[in-house]
């Protein structure tokens, strides 16, 4: 009987660990938004869909140059976040005729160059703990 109870407890603990490992949260914050006008749009990507259609998207309200969003129920894996300041609330990032952005943008890990972000530069891992990121424009 003791062996049966021990076996059942081990199974319940294992199932609980698997379930909680799949439901992690990512909190992304931008601290240096240039104005409180508009919103900040965030996209969560994996390597396959990077810079295409995000797996999840969130919109952050800006207050005192800061915004925070939460991505819930994220399964373990490698991800990247791209965000931009949608100053005119037209739900797209605006560009000059020469292709230079008119609106501020950033990516996880804050590695910025004079080019769009890459997955390799922006990737981070979600495993057994929630993730909190600070992104700079």
Q: Are strands 24-30 and 131-135 parallel, antiparallel or unpaired?
A: parallel
Cα–Cα distance between 122 and 45 in angstroms, integer?
10
Percentage of the chain exceeding pLDDT 70 = 84
Proportion of the chain in helix, strand, coil states, percent, rounded to 5: 20, 40, 40
User: Quick one: pLDDT band at residue 63, thresholds 50, 70, 90?
Assistant: very high
User: Whole-structure pTM over 0.75, yes or no?
Assistant: yes
CATH architecture of 24-135: Sandwich (2.60)
Average pLDDT over residues 90-117: 94
Task: Give the start-to-end residue ranges of the domains of the chain.
Answer: 24-135
What are the two backbone dihedrals, phi and then psi, of residue 29, each rounded to the nearest 5 degrees? -125, 135
State the DSSP code for 120. H
Cα–Cα distance between 87 and 71 in angstroms, integer?
22
pLDDT at res. 15: 52
Per-residue pLDDT of 86-103, as tens digits, reads 999 999 999 999 999 999
């Amino acid at each position: 009987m003791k062996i049966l109870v021990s076996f059942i407890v081990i199974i319940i603990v294992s199932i609980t660990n698997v379930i909680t490992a799949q439901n992690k949260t990512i909190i992304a914050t931008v601290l240096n938004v240039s104005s409180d006008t508009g919103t900040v749009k965030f996209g969560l990507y994996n390597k396959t869909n990077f810079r295409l259609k995000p797996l999840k998207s969130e919109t952050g309200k800006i207050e005192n140059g800061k915004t925070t969003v939460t991505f819930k129920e994220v399964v373990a894996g490698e991800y990247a976040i791209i965000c931009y300041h949608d100053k005119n609330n037209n739900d797209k990032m605006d560009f000059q005729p020469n292709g230079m952005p008119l609106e501020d943008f950033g990516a996880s890990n804050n590695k910025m160059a004079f080019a769009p972000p890459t997955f390799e530069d922006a990737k981070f891992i979600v495993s057994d703990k929630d993730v909190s990121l600070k992104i700079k424009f």
